[in-house]
Structure 1
Amino acid sequence: MNQVEAEKRIETLRSLLEEYGHQYYVLDNPVVSDAEYDRLMQELISLEKQYPDLVTDDSPSMRVGGKPLPHFEKVQHEVPMLSLSNAFNEQELRDFDRRIRQGLEKDHVSYSCELKIDGLAVSLTYEKGKFVRGATRGDGTIGEDITNNLKTVRSIPMRLKETVDLEVRGEAFMPKASFESLNSAKKEAGEEPFANPRNAAAGSLRQLDPKIAAKRNLDIFLYAIGQIKEVKIDSHTEALNYLSKLGFKTNREQKHCGSIEEVLDYIQSWQEKRADLNYDIDGIVIKVDVLKQQERLGFTAKSPRWAIAYKFPAEEVITKLEGIELSIGRTGVVTPTALLSPVTVAGTVVKRASLHNEDLIRQKDIKIGDTVVIKKAGDIIPEVVNVLTDQRTGEEIEFTMPTNCPECESDLVRLEGEVALRCINPKCPAQIREGLIHFVSRNAMNIDGLGEKVIAQLFDKGLVRDVADLYQLNREDLLNLERMGEKSVDNLLNAVEASKENSLERLLFGLGIRFVGAKAAKTLAAHFEIIDELQKATEEELTAINEIGEKMANSIVRYFSKPEVTQLITELQRLGVNTSYKGVKRAEQTVTDSFFADKTVVLTGKLEQLTREEAKTKLEELGAKVTGSVSKNTDLVIAGEAAGSKLDKAEKLGIEVWDEQRLVDEFKNVEQ
């Protein structure tokens, strides 16, 4: 076969494989056997190897996975991929409908309803009908280029049925059968299984080696057009039909509803039969159908006004409460935890649930041996909802909180005004261990590699007894710990060394002084500048500082009055730990011409490009006052993803709202 003949055969094979793949993966209508499909694919791969100059990026052979990448490149979305606001009950949906109808005055409103797939939002870009780029949603403005991984998703067409330029959005997901097969394989290999299909899908698409993604059998539903040229579309329903016509896989369960009553009926029907699907859904997405009406309604800072996501109620399951375990926190608080018969809730196996305190146990009448209802609050934190008292046998055991600490046997006390029991022994091993964990945490000294398990090993072996010991760790001792190889030890020791250069506020927060959080630590560090001055401060001097109250001032003075604390600070200084403030001092600030000077700013929601602490520090350096709550005195709200009630309050009060990208852009302008 010469090159001309090979080129014709390759094109024929590509057309056949594209059509067979579309019938199988998109329409669920196989027209040839798997063996025949595989035979044609092998022939194509063989010819492309023989004639490499005939290989194209949109060939079906590209689905097997290319070479591993060193990292993912960043991609800016020309049209932001905004998140949706949420509704959790019927009244919130009716309020949404009322706002829509008010916004559109007398226009008739209809809605497009779709299943909310529990997966990973992605963007696909096509030029002249060819797939050229795929990206994650990221922060809505900037995502990651995962083109090679998305090429392995067989329901994503490499070439469309028309030569159009467009960008579309969809939800990549892992079908339940693929998830079960993947986890079985991971368990057999002795690896940790994925918690749920969503995590598995996200983890698969963020593999630097596309060959791994290719083995995961992912799927996708396309749900929106981000941009399109030279094609007129009037409604969302029409857009979905057009996507199907182009060869995309859309969800066949989409429904056009003429009223909010029809929307509620649609939601109810899927709450009852969601378990029958071969993929996970966590709610229903409701959109105003007519695109011109969408344009009139517009957007808030974080989401479109014309769409909302109804979230299904948290899944509740029944299990047995087998026991109650007590743990001691770094401040001595005793927390009871329910030990449960393992049960799957919202896609993960739950064995434990916090019971918070003794009063809650009494309030819910919880006994050991009870049959209980549990759920995950916000689909994340397991909690006991209630006890099924009618299933009691009489063998259940009343739980009584101990009078002595389960770790050190010191007396437990309940301080005035508190519901929690505390161990007040400063030498309690549990408190010391938890204090060490707090000291190395991200918002404190941020020592990467010193997680809870490593700290527990170091403490149990007697290698650390206070935070100063962390700066005297021996390499050989670390190599003797479980799962600690030479590279891990080197990285850990480098992280310990780097933490010595932290600014004073991190050290103050890490020391765990009662009532002194990260914000107060920053205020104290900026005011006193060196720890020696803070150690000498009186209560009167402390309360004179804005935001430092009597309770905190008293705690600080009592903490630094202890001889063992003075000894610890001296030892840390001897070991080279910085005890000075490195931030911008008020006297040195020249921010009178900054946009943020003298403004009160609130940060809310999840930030992607900056940490909350980075944003706060920079704002304060530019003269802003960063507070935790929205009021009429607030000048500006920075809203990240899932901003919630603070954003709602800001909009009601008419306060200016920025998204994270605008904040980042303003920071860049200041630096220029």
Structure 2
Amino acid sequence: MTETALDDSLSQAAAEAATLTERILAARDAYYERNEPAISDAEYDGLVQRLEELERLFPELQSQDSPTQTVGGRAETTLFDPVQHAERMLSLDNVFSIEEFRDWAAKVERDSGRSVHYLCELKIDGLAINLRYENGVLVTAATRGDGVVGEDVSENIDFVPGIPRRLAGTGHPPLMEVRGEVFFPVESFAELNAAQVASGERPFANARNAASGSLRQKASTKTPAQLRLMKARLGRLRMLVHGIGAWERPAATSQSEVYAVLEDWGLPTSEYFRVTPNPGQAAEFIEYYGEHRARVSHEIDGIVIKIDELELHAELGATNRAPRWAIAYKYPPEQVNTTLRDIVVSVGRTGRATPFAVMDKVRVAGSEVRQATLHNQDVVKAKGVLIGDTIVLRKAGDVIPEVLGPVVELRDGTEREFVMPANCPECGTPLAPAKEGDIDLRCPNARSCPAQVRGRVEHIGSRGALDIEVLGEVAAAALTQPTVPETPPLPTEAGLFDLQLTDLLPIQVTVRDAETGLPREDVDGSEKLRMPFSRNPTAAEKKKGLTGLQPSASATKLLAEIDRAKTKPLWRILVSLNIRHVGPVAARALANHFGSLDAIRESVAADLATVDGVGGIIADAVLDWFQVDWHRDIVDAWVRAGVQFTTPGHPGPGAAARADGVLSGLTVVATGSLEGFTREGAQEAIIIAGGKSAASVSKNTDFVAAGPGAGSKLAKAEALGIRILDADEFRILIEQGPGALPTPPPIIS
């Protein structure tokens, strides 16, 4: 490279570095000082990584006050008194892959000249706090600030439960600094946001900012009512200690021993840590919690790996901002920013009108997302989002994406409010609550609203109902809402079993997304979606004189599958009727007990309600369904078409016995979002395997299958010591029985 070219490259790098520095510092200020994140964690990490790369290529660009060499946060504010830490409070360097972690571990072992032990612990997404104890008495609690000077939040820390003002035991050093994180447990954060919404306030975007905003308040500026609210919020916070700062001669030789000492002194330490003898087992810990992070009671965004031997901490030392003896493995982001382009209203098979956020496509938690439900007009208002906003999007594990709120600071005045339509966007019928007091609006035109008919037909073909291959989203739309012909083959589902090949050939359809109702693009540029059941004749067929549309393989297969579905088990027929509350579990219970649809129809509510797995609400829903004339028309049409509404050989109501299976005699609770299972699908799988699917956790529960969003049921299972299974383990349980389950890995050292 010529000298001129080198100068140009340096000049361009310097300009980019200056821009990156400005953006990073602005983001830090918004995040640490105003508790209003202007960009997502992933975007921030990307900016820092790019600046680090430039500084490696051009070392002359790196200065002592570069964001890569300093800790985030200000040293002093006008709100709190400054506190100088006895020992500098550092941040952590990050790695984003197992390979990067292994490279770090290899360098540590090269630099130390020995094999080491790795202490792995969860990286809490909270607010860093430094507790200073003198002779066992808490003197100050301070934020990290710039690492040297923080803010004195001692008066507020007094309201956070679990932090001892005087240490238990004996042997306390004259001066000791303990570092940890203050955070909201997941359940407490959900309760806090629910209270925010109920009081008309905007919910917090994330738990970390809520924790920081709650702790960094001045009691002297509050009215009595505000002070009570402030204390209540502080009372929901928790703290876990994860390290030491100043401590001249620790009464331990390893980090794990330090935790034991701190626990004996009454300080709150985490149970989620493990000491491993090599990087391979540390990587297993990282991967385990990457898959099970939703089980943890607090938010985490990664794993911190520390060298366990304390003597190596001093030997390895630190950079200006981070120790060389520790690293943070960052998981893929579960919270990102994107742009809200529109809010559209979709009508589902039950008539519920649901607003959906349509966003710029963004990758979060390992998958691409472009839409998220906003539930109803009240939720849109409570979240405070405007069309055109930059919004914060969260997707924990495999849970449905959730819009948390707007980044208000990025508004430019072009944003506009969402207005809930007064009429059904599909059929024009005025929307209304199903009953007085309901928040949700529904389309009351249940019989013939195209969206509801489409949803019901798609449900009939689903795995939980008749499991009709080919009858999915595209086929349901084609049969109920075609662009050609003008009159759909299925104005209602009553005619499903009477379909003929001639009904399918002229169909053309614009396929719309099942949630947002927006037109979907053809996946491969062909006419498979536009003409799902027909095709143009081949050259050979044209030579034989065939000129019109010919049936596709999908058309003939659909009709064959519909014909086969006529004799499927009664419980599947019951599910396909779209009776409210009657999913696979209740349908199986009704079919097993009564044996025929006629016996169900002739029963009274009390008889239906006594069936295990049914109850009063479902009993009333079943009888109410048969009171509607067009519902009876569906049954009559299906009977004429040959649908079998009886279980052959069934001895009559109440005489059926449940068959034994691998779960015979066992009670299992399925909760949260289990990958590969709907809620009803998981319950059905338990029953098919011979087990009892329970709705609540008790001492009689044998297993709890828990996915993201499990909530209080998971907490109760943990308190009772019940074996908790993830989706993969649940699959083993229902297919092979409890004896095939693997021994759970130890997670506590």
TM-score with structure 1 length normalisation?
A: 0.51
Shift of 1:428: 1.6
The aligned counterpart of 1:527 is 593
Tell me the matched-pair count: 409
The aligned counterpart of 2:655 is 587
- 1:387 has 2:406 as partner: yes
- 1:413 has 2:417 as partner: no
Contact in 1 for aligned 2:423/2:431 (Cα 8 Å):
yes
Identify the range of structure 1 (339-348 vs 580-589) with the bigger mean alpha-carbon deviation: 580-589
The aligned counterpart of 1:211 is none
Q: Which amino acid aligns with 2:692?
A: K
Q: Which amino acid aligns with 2:390?
A: T
- The structure-2 alpha-carbon separation of the partners of 1:512 and 1:631, relative to structure 1 and needing over 3 Å to count, comes to same
Cα distance per residue 1:193-241 (max 9 Å; x no partner) = xxxxxxxxxxxxxxxxxxxxxxxxxxxxxxxxxxxxxxxxxxxxxxxxx
Q: Which secondary structure state, in structure 1, belongs to the residue aligned with residue 655 of structure 2? A: helix
The aligned counterpart of 2:463 is 442
The aligned counterpart of 1:398 is 417
For residues 344 and 656 of structure 1, the distance between their equivalents in structure 2, rounded to whole angstroms, comes to 33
Contact in 1 for aligned 2:352/2:442 (Cα 8 Å):
yes
From 417, 432, 449, the equivalent of 1:428 is 449
The aligned counterpart of 1:625 is 692
- 1:360 has 2:428 as partner: no
From 345, 348, 370, the equivalent of 1:351 is 370
Q: Which secondary structure state, in structure 1, belongs to the residue aligned with residue 621 of structure 2? A: helix
The aligned counterpart of 2:682 is 612
Q: How does 1:473-622 map to 2 (within 5 A)?
A: 473-481=499-507, 482-483=527-528, 484=532, 486-581=552-647, 587-589=655-657, 599-603=666-670, 606=674, 612=682, 615-620=685-690
For residues 460 and 439 of structure 2, the distance between their equivalents in structure 1, rounded to whole angstroms, comes to 26
Q: Which secondary structure state, in structure 1, belongs to the residue aligned with residue 452 of structure 2? A: helix
Cα distance per residue 1:29-81 (max 9 Å; x no partner) = xxxxxxxxxxxxxxxxxxxxxxxxxxxxxxxxxxxxxxxxxxxxxxxxxxxxx
Contact in 2 for aligned 1:110/1:256 (Cα 8 Å):
no
Cα distance per residue 1:313-349 (max 9 Å; x no partner) = 5131232x23221111111111011223444545655
Cα distance per residue 1:63-120 (max 9 Å; x no partner) = xxxxxxxxxxxxxxxxxxxxx9987646799699999977xx99x9744568979x99
- The structure-2 alpha-carbon separation of the partners of 1:318 and 1:652, relative to structure 1 and needing over 3 Å to count, comes to same
For residues 315 and 508 of structure 1, the distance between their equivalents in structure 2, rounded to whole angstroms, comes to 40
Contact in 2 for aligned 1:109/1:258 (Cα 8 Å):
no
TM-score with structure 2 length normalisation?
A: 0.46
Shift of 1:443: 0.5
Contact in 2 for aligned 1:332/1:424 (Cα 8 Å):
yes
Q: Which amino acid aligns with 2:592?
A: A
- The structure-2 alpha-carbon separation of the partners of 1:616 and 1:98, relative to structure 1 and needing over 3 Å to count, comes to farther
Shift of 1:380: 5.7
Shift of 1:607: 8.2
The aligned counterpart of 1:165 is none
For residues 700 and 564 of structure 2, the distance between their equivalents in structure 1, rounded to whole angstroms, comes to 40
For residues 95 and 644 of structure 1, the distance between their equivalents in structure 2, rounded to whole angstroms, comes to 26
From 357, 373, 376, the equivalent of 2:395 is 376
Cα distance per residue 1:547-588 (max 9 Å; x no partner) = 444433332222101222222112112212221246988635
Contact in 1 for aligned 2:431/2:442 (Cα 8 Å):
yes
Q: How does 1:28-39 map to 2 (within 5 A)?
A: none
Q: Which secondary structure state, in structure 1, belongs to the residue aligned with residue 335 of structure 2? A: coil
Shift of 1:656: 6.1
Shift of 1:665: 4.2
For residues 99 and 466 of structure 1, the distance between their equivalents in structure 2, rounded to whole angstroms, comes to 69
Q: Which amino acid aligns with 1:419?
A: I
Shift of 1:515: 2.4
For residues 378 and 656 of structure 1, the distance between their equivalents in structure 2, rounded to whole angstroms, comes to 21
Q: How does 1:52-67 map to 2 (within 5 A)?
A: none
- The structure-2 alpha-carbon separation of the partners of 1:416 and 1:550, relative to structure 1 and needing over 3 Å to count, comes to farther
For residues 465 and 333 of structure 1, the distance between their equivalents in structure 2, rounded to whole angstroms, comes to 19
Q: Which amino acid aligns with 1:322?
A: R
The aligned counterpart of 1:452 is 473
- The structure-2 alpha-carbon separation of the partners of 1:385 and 1:109, relative to structure 1 and needing over 3 Å to count, comes to closer
From 447, 461, 465, the equivalent of 2:491 is 465
The aligned counterpart of 2:67 is none
Contact in 2 for aligned 1:526/1:583 (Cα 8 Å):
no
Query: What do you get for the CA RMSD once the two structures are aligned?
Result: 4.9
Cα distance per residue 1:615-652 (max 9 Å; x no partner) = 323344xxx43213321232x21658889665664353
Identify the range of structure 1 (500-509 vs 374-383) with the bigger mean alpha-carbon deviation: 374-383
Q: Which secondary structure state, in structure 2, belongs to the residue aligned with residue 617 of structure 1? A: helix
Q: Which secondary structure state, in structure 1, belongs to the residue aligned with residue 453 of structure 2? A: helix
Contact in 2 for aligned 1:330/1:431 (Cα 8 Å):
yes
Identify the range of structure 1 (491-500 vs 439-448) with the bigger mean alpha-carbon deviation: 491-500
- The structure-2 alpha-carbon separation of the partners of 1:379 and 1:619, relative to structure 1 and needing over 3 Å to count, comes to closer
Q: Which amino acid aligns with 1:612?
A: A
Contact in 2 for aligned 1:520/1:548 (Cα 8 Å):
yes
Shift of 1:430: 1.3
Q: Which secondary structure state, in structure 1, belongs to the residue aligned with residue 563 of structure 2? A: helix
Q: Which secondary structure state, in structure 1, belongs to the residue aligned with residue 464 of structure 2? A: coil
Cα distance per residue 1:286-329 (max 9 Å; x no partner) = xxxxxxxxxxxxxxxxxxxxxxxx8455131232x232211111
Cα distance per residue 1:357-380 (max 9 Å; x no partner) = 111111122222333233334366
Shift of 1:524: 1.9
For residues 360 and 676 of structure 2, the distance between their equivalents in structure 1, rounded to whole angstroms, comes to 37
For residues 467 and 283 of structure 2, the distance between their equivalents in structure 1, rounded to whole angstroms, comes to 37
Q: How does 1:231-250 map to 2 (within 5 A)?
A: none
From 326, 333, 346, the equivalent of 2:345 is 326
Contact in 1 for aligned 2:399/2:709 (Cα 8 Å):
no
For residues 85 and 561 of structure 1, the distance between their equivalents in structure 2, rounded to whole angstroms, comes to 59
Contact in 2 for aligned 1:88/1:313 (Cα 8 Å):
no
Shift of 1:535: 1.8
For residues 569 and 601 of structure 1, the distance between their equivalents in structure 2, rounded to whole angstroms, comes to 34
Q: Which secondary structure state, in structure 1, belongs to the residue aligned with residue 644 of structure 2? A: coil
- The structure-2 alpha-carbon separation of the partners of 1:85 and 1:549, relative to structure 1 and needing over 3 Å to count, comes to farther
Structure 2, unaligned runs of 5 or more: 1-119, 126-180, 186-238, 243-254, 265-272, 289-303, 483-487, 508-526, 536-551, 741-749
Contact in 2 for aligned 1:113/1:254 (Cα 8 Å):
no
Identify the range of structure 1 (465-474 vs 570-579) with the bigger mean alpha-carbon deviation: 465-474
For residues 667 and 609 of structure 1, the distance between their equivalents in structure 2, rounded to whole angstroms, comes to 19
Q: Which amino acid aligns with 1:577?
A: V
Contact in 2 for aligned 1:326/1:406 (Cα 8 Å):
yes
The aligned counterpart of 1:338 is 357
Shift of 1:613: 5.7
- The structure-2 alpha-carbon separation of the partners of 1:442 and 1:596, relative to structure 1 and needing over 3 Å to count, comes to closer
Contact in 2 for aligned 1:371/1:391 (Cα 8 Å):
yes
Q: Which amino acid aligns with 1:615?
A: A
Contact in 2 for aligned 1:316/1:373 (Cα 8 Å):
yes
